[in-house]
A and B are shown apart, each in its own frame.
Chain A
Amino acid sequence: AQKITQTQPGMFVQEKEAVTLDCTYDTSDPSYGLFWYKQPSSGEMIFLIYQGSYDQQNATEGRYSLNFQKARKSANLVISASQLGDSAMYFCAMREKGTGGFKTIFGAGTRLFVKA
């Protein structure tokens, strides 16, 4: 079963508009962390934002915010005022405890295209 589901393989957004990238997750562990990473065409993984399962407020980091709906098990990323440089692959990930230590499970990703 998929632990992290990103249902949008590709998204288009007009420059300066806001965009929401969807992510749903599945875990029975009450303690977990949710992450979003950006992967530009150069290939590196860039950390964007984190939300802990016990955090009461939605995380925000500059133009990035995480719409955390725990009951629905969703952790959507909102990018406000899109810029051309935001064009990249975006991965949602969940960190949970395995049998020994922690592991991070990634979704399939959403490719975002920002149009001028």
Chain B
Amino acid sequence: EPEVTQTPSHQVTQMGQEVILRCVPISNHLYFYWYRQILGQKVEFLVSFYNNEISEKSEIFDDQFSVERPDGSNFTLKIRSTKLEDSAMYFCASTFGAPVSSYNEQFFGPGTRLTVL
């Protein structure tokens, strides 16, 4: 069964460093998402990406965040200068087909745990 994959599973970085979190969505999916989950808290929407551009972003997704689809398979989240409060689990998700309705099951990746020291 096709699945969303994420690398690395755990990333440790120093405050102020740049990190890139990588995701490989399911191959025929068109719509991609990043979410974060601070330990013990709810899942928070960061950004959605469609047709090579951001289609929706939350207030959390400020200028230190960026997303990119550098090739036909990868979808990346870059945090330019990490802060302690960026420590969280980051989930990538993808959906099949264009967002013409409110339904499209999101397939989640296993997550990358980011620890900022």
Q: A interface vs B, CB < 8 Å?
A: 31-33, 35, 37, 43-47, 50, 52-53, 91, 93, 95-109
Contact = CB atoms under 8 A, between A and B. Distances in A.
Number of chain B interface residues as a range? 20 to 34
A31 B102 contact: yes
Contacts, number: 77
Given A43-B89, A101-B55, A101-B56, A91 B103 contact: no
Nearest to A30: B102
B111 interface: yes
B43 A106 contact: yes
Interface string B56-94: 101000000000000000000000000000000101010
Contacts of B103: 33, 50, 52, 95
Nearest to A31: B102
Contacts of B50: 101
A68 B2 CA distance: 30
Contact of A31 (B43, B45, B101, B108): B101
B20 interface: no
B56 A98 contact: yes
A97 B102 contact: yes
B18 interface: no
B1 interface: no
B44 A106 contact: yes
Given A43-B110, A45-B108, A102 B42 contact: no
B48 A103 contact: yes
Contacts of A91: 42-43
Given A45-B43, A91-B43, A103 B102 contact: no
9 contacts: A45-B91, A45-B111, A52-B103, A91-B43, A100-B48, A103-B45, A105-B45, A106-B45, A109-B42
B59 to A, nearest CB: 12
Contact of B102 (A37, A44, A47, A95): A95
Given A106-B42, A109-B42, A101 B99 contact: yes
